[in-house]
Structure formats: C-alpha cells, structure tokens
Amino acid sequence: MARLRVDSVIVRIPKWVVVVYTALAILLIPWTIYMGWTLPTHHLSVNWDISWTGLDIALIIAFLLTGLAAYTKSLWIVISSTTVGCLLLVDAWFDVMTEHQSPEFARALLTGAAVEIPLALLSYYVAAHALQRVHKHTKHKR
C-alpha cells in the first residue's frame, strides 16, 4: 500500500493505483506522439453539435453538484469544483483550437481568457479552500 499523508491522518492507497495510473501515463506518451503525427489538420465531425452540447451538459451538472456540495457543506465540493475547473479548461482549449482559422477566433480567445480560465481558477481555489478547512478542522480536533 502506498500512503498519502494528510495532516497526521494516513490514507491508504493500494499500490496498484500507483502502478496503473503511472503505466497509463507512460503508455499515453507514444500514443499521443503517434496521433499528433498522423491525424489530419482538418477534419469534419458528424456529431459536432452533440459533442459540444454534451460538454455543456457535463458543465451544467458539475456546476449544480458544486452548488449542492457548497449548500450541504459536503467535502464532495473538492471533486465537483475540480471537475468544473477541468471542464472549463477543456472548453476553452477546444474553443480556441477549433476557431483558430475562423472569424470567431477573437471571440473564443476573449471568452477563454475572460470567462473560462478565471472560472476554472476560481473552481480550483474553492477546492483548495475546502481542503484547507478540513486541514484546520482536523488539526483543532486533536
């Protein structure tokens, strides 16, 4: 078992988690290089609308779960707000990259810089703040 130390509380994490996730990261490197070299720079997608709508629905769910976790003072806010941050960064990345050669590029860049990235950073702050509160609470409980 690998151990993760949080305060003086030790969380036991099975060694397979370390092995599997590290192996997946390593295996993804050659795959990513291969895809980068072989994928066409231009590709039409049949389900473009469903892809973007699905991402927005995932964002709606993550925002709602974060609001609910905040309302109920649940530690799940760490996961939900981190998920919001990740989805917002993915949204900004794909907005900018897919509009790079279009007249919508300036809008995508502005939206990413002024809305999506700041909201992602706020979401990460919320997660970090919740973890700090847990840290202080367990520290004072002893």
Q: What does the block give as tokens for 135?
A: 């840290």
Q: What does the block give as tokens for 37?
A: 């070299």
Q: What's the burial of 142, exposed, middle or buried (CB within 10 Å: 0-12/13-18/19+)?
A: exposed
Cβ atoms of 28 and 20 closer than 8 Å: no
Q: What is the pLDDT tens value at each position of the chain, 142 positions in all?
A: 554 444 544 556 678 878 988 999 999 999 999 999 998 888 788 898 999 999 999 999 999 999 999 999 898 999 999 999 999 999 999 999 988 888 899 999 999 999 999 999 999 999 999 988 776 656 655 5
Cβ atoms of 115 and 79 closer than 8 Å: no
Q: Radius of gyration (Cα) for the chain, nearest Å?
A: 19
Q: Are strands 9-13 and 2-6 parallel, antiparallel or unpaired?
A: antiparallel
